[in-house]
């Protein structure tokens, strides 16, 4: 096979999901980094160009930085497998599984890994929805989220029983399945994994009540701490948990695992992102920098891990 710098490489970005704008920003940064490093790289937006054109136009490898449905859920991965084009990130199964928060958490529970207690609400059964019963079981406040969205799209913190139904209805605008989870009142951490190595954890301190879309991509008031301030023993405990979460779902290449502590300081797994953001506000580059990678080195490393 030709050396990477002699291959024609597509950066897949944009797409049609609710995370399109974030993906465009990530893609532009990745494109520039690879161009700076001397790669023959071109941006391809699946909203405008059919993926079958990748083969027609002679692309030999793909850096996939599509976020959300259609790009992070196994769909694009399956097309690229069929076309025989190597690509960055997780394969079909891990991508599909981790996009589904409900099934990911059920798998983690099966492995004995800690997750917040939750109730699953399906749109088809919403007529029988009993907010009182859920609050009696899980308490207040609660976190309501669509099962198949990322970037905190459709999330609501529910503080009152009367607000739970409308929060679920909002989440139904994005998915047929909604998770209602017990509130995790402790700190939030994001922990990248690169080529099987768990990178330094990042502690996230949003200005608001939780790390929502605005805090992730717009606000300059969100604080990030890397190193996170954990003791060495706690950092190792977190790394071990993240490694188990990553390996149990079959991830490869690069992914980011989000973790929160409860009111007693116990770590709980939240979700895995298999195509993490690479914007100016993104966390993966921050942890990689603490490990010794600058942004361009990180992008090249991810490309080198493509299969």
Is position 258 annotated in a ligand binding site? yes
Residue of 17, 19, 149, 306 marked active site:
19
151 catalytic residue (yes or no): yes
Residue of 17, 95, 96, 151 marked active site:
151
147 catalytic residue (yes or no): no
Please check whether residue 66 is in contact with residue 24, taking contact to mean a CB–CB distance below 8 angstroms.
no
Residue entry with tokens 């049609």: 16
Is position 271 annotated in a ligand binding site? yes
Cα separation values, 181 from 138, 263, 293, Å: 7, 14, 36
231 catalytic residue (yes or no): no
Rg (CA), the chain: 19
Please check whether residue 264 is in contact with residue 172, taking contact to mean a CB–CB distance below 8 angstroms.
no
- The two beta strands, 8-12 and 40-44, are parallel
Q: What is the per-residue DSSP string for 64-131?
A: E---STTTSSSHHHHHHHHHT--BSS--HHHHHHHH-HHHHHHHHHHTT--B--EEEEEGGGGGG--H
Half-sphere exposure of 174 (CA within 13 A, CB side): 25
Is position 40 annotated in a ligand binding site? no
Number of H helices, E strands in the chain: 11, 13
Residue of 95, 201, 282, 306 marked active site:
282
Q: What is the C-alpha separation between 62 and 85, in angstroms, rounded?
A: 7
The residues with which 143 forms a beta bridge, in sequence order, are 157, 181
Cis before 227 (ω within 30): yes
Half-sphere exposure of 236 (CA within 13 A, CB side): 3
Binding site: residue ranges?
258, 271, 273
Residues noted as catalytic: 19, 151, 282
Q: Mark the binding-site residues for Mg(2+), compressed into ranges.
A: 258, 271, 273
């Amino acid at each position: 096979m030709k050396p990477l710098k002699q291959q024609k490489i597509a950066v897949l970005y944009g797409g049609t999901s609710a995370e399109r704008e974030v993906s465009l920003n990530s893609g532009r940064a990745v494109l520039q980094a690879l161009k700076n490093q001397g790669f023959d790289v071109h941006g391809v937006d699946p909203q405008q160009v059919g993926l079958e054109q990748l083969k027609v136009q002679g692309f030999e490898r793909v850096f996939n930085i599509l976020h959300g449905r259609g790009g992070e859920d196994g769909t694009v991965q399956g097309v690229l497998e069929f076309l025989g084009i190597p690509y960055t990130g997780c394969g079909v199964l891990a991508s599909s599984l981790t996009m589904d928060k409900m099934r990911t958490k059920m798998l983690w529970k099966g492995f004995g890994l800690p997750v917040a207690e939750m109730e699953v609400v399906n749109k088809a059964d919403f007529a029988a929805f009993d907010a009182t019963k859920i609050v009696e079981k899980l308490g207040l406040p609660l976190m309501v989220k669509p099962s198949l969205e990322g970037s905190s799209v459709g999330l609501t913190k529910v503080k009152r029983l009367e607000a739970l139904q409308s929060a679920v209805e909002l989440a139904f605008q994005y998915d047929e399945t909604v998770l209602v989870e017990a509130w995790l009142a402790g700190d939030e951490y994001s922990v990248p994994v690169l080529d099987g190595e768990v990178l330094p954890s990042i502690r996230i301190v949003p200005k608001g009540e939780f790390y929502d879309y605005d805090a992730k991509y717009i606000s300059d008031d969100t604080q990030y701490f890397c190193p996170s301030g954990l003791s060495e023993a706690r950092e190792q405990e977190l790394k071990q948990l993240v490694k188990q979460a990553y390996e149990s779902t079959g991830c490869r290449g690069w992914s980011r695992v989000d973790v929160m502590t409860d009111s007693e300081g116990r770590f709980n797994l939240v979700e895995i992102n298999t195509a993490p953001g690479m914007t100016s506000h993104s966390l993966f580059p921050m942890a990689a920098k603490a490990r010794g990678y600058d942004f361009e080195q990180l992008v090249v490393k991810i490309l080198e891990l493509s299969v």
